[in-house]
Amino acid sequence: MNADALTQFIASEIEPHAQRWEKDRLVPNETFEKAGQAGLCGLMVPIEDGGYNLPLGELVTVFEKLAYSDMGFAFALIPHNNLANAIAREATGPVKNRYLEAMLAGELLGAFLLTEPGVGSDASRITTRAELTGNRWLLNGEKSWVTNGSRAGLLRVYAQTEPGSGASGIAAFLVDADQAGVTSSQPYDMLGGYAIGVGAVSFSQVELHEGQLLSPPGVAYAAAMGAIGLARVLVAALCVGILQRALEVCVERLDQRHAFGERLADKQGLRWMLADVATDLKAARALTHIAADAIDSNQADSIVQAAHAKKFAARAATKGVEQCMQVFGADGLLQDHPLARHLAGAKMAHYLDGSTEVQNLLIAKALFK
C-alpha cells in the first residue's frame, strides 16, 4: 500500500466531505471508485491478483488513518476488502474473472450478509434458506444491518441449507444485487455514520446456479467467524483513529483558548482529563496490535485477543471522545467540528461485528474453559 496515495486520498476525498455526509445523510457511492484508484479496495488480495496482500498488522495502521477522518467510510471498506480477498483465494476462475477486477477498481462494491432481524448475536440460528432443487438453489429470507446494503452490487449471503443442522448447514453464496427477487432498503436512519450505507436486504425466490456457491456447508460458518474476528481487530483500529483525532482536536483547542485570565491548557483539571484519554489511547492501540499479531501468527487465542481489543477500544473511544467534547466545550456539538460524528462512530463500534457483551462472552468462556 502506497502511504502517499493513502494520505492523498484521505486529504482530498474524505476530510473535505465527511461532515457533509453526516449533515446531509449521504452515502458517498462515487468515492469508492476513487478508493479503488488509491489501492484501498484490494488490501488483502494476493499481489498476483492485483492486490497488496497486507498482513493484519499493516491493515490496522491503514484503517486507523482512515477513521481519523471518518469512521463510517472506513468501516464500509472492511466487508468489501474481506469479500474481494475471499473471491481471490476461494472462488473458481470464472467467478474471479467476473468480479475481482471491478471490485479492485471500486466499481463493484461488496457486502457481508449474516445478521438477521430475529436472530441477534447467535448467527448459527439464521433462517434465511437456500434450498437445492436440481442444479439450482432457491434463496429466501431477510438480512438486516448490512454494511453497504443500500449500494453494494455483490452480496455474500449466508443461508441455511438444512434446517435444524445449525452452523454445519450454513453455506455462503455470491448474489448479484440486481438479480430478480433481491430487494435492498434505503439506508437506516441512524445516530450517525451515514457513509457506512447500512440497511436491509431481502430475498424472494432468488434463483442461484452452482457457480454462485462460494463456501459450502461445513466450511462457510467457520469462514464467517474468521472474517468477523479479523473485522473486530479493524474495528478496534477504527476506534484508535477516532480517539487520536479527538485528542488532537481538544489539545489544540485548549492550547489556543483562554478563560479567567489564563490558557485553558494551564488548568490542571482539564490537563488531567486529557492525560487519561492519552493513556487509554495508548492502551487501545497496544491491544489492537497484540490482537493483529495473534491473528497474523495463527495463535490459538487470537479470537479472545480480538475480543479484548475491540471491547476495550470501543469503550475507550466512547468515554474518551465524550471527555474531549466536555473539555472542548459546547462548540463540540456543532457540525463544524469532527467530535460529534466521532462520538457517533465510537458508539457504533460497540455493535459492529459483535456487541461488547458478545466480546465478554468470548473472554469469559476462555477464562472458564
Q: Which tens digit of pLDDT belongs to each residue from 1-50?
A: 788 889 999 999 999 999 999 888 888 888 999 999 999 999 999 999 99
Beta strands, E only, the chain? 110-113, 129-133, 136-146, 154-160, 170-176, 182-184, 199-209, 213-215, 258-259, 262-263
CA dihedral defined by 124, 154, 146, 213, rounded to 10 degrees? -10
Q: Which three cell numbers, joined as nine digits, stand for 73?
A: 467510510
| Phi, psi at 134, each rounded to 5° | 70, -125
* 28 in Cβ contact with 195 (< 8 Å): yes
For strands 110-113 and 154-160, give the pairing. Answer: parallel
Q: What is the model's pLDDT at position 9?
A: 96
What CATH number is given for 3-109 in this structure? Answer: 1.10.540.10
Where do the structural domains in the chain lie, given as residue ranges?
3-109, 111-217, 221-367
Rounded to an integer, what distance in angstroms lies between the CA atom of residue 350 and that of residue 315?
8
**Cα Rg for the chain, rounded, in angstroms?**
21
Listed in sequence order, the residues at least 6 apart from 311 whose beta carbon sits closer than 8 Å to its beta carbon are 356, 359, 360, 363
- CATH number assigned to the domain covering 111-217: 2.40.110.10
pLDDT tens digits, one per residue of 298-313: 999 999 999 999 999 9
Is residue 19 within 8 A of residue 89, CB to CB? The reply is no
Range scoring the smallest mean pLDDT among 120-134, 220-234, 251-265:
251-265
pLDDT value of position 243 = 97
Q: Which residue has the cell 477522518?
A: 69
Q: Record the pTM.
A: 0.94
d(CA 325, CA 333): 8
d(CA 214, CA 73): 26
Which CATH superfamily includes the segment(s) 221-367? Butyryl-CoA Dehydrogenase, subunit A, domain 3 (1.20.140.10)
Instruction: Classify each residue of 111-124 as buried b or exposed e, where b means 16 or more C-beta atoms within 10 Å of its C-beta.
Output: bbbbbbeebeeebe
Contact 217/161 with Cβ under 8 angstroms?
Answer: yes
Average pLDDT (118-145) is 92
CA distance linking residue 129 with residue 361, whole number of Å: 28
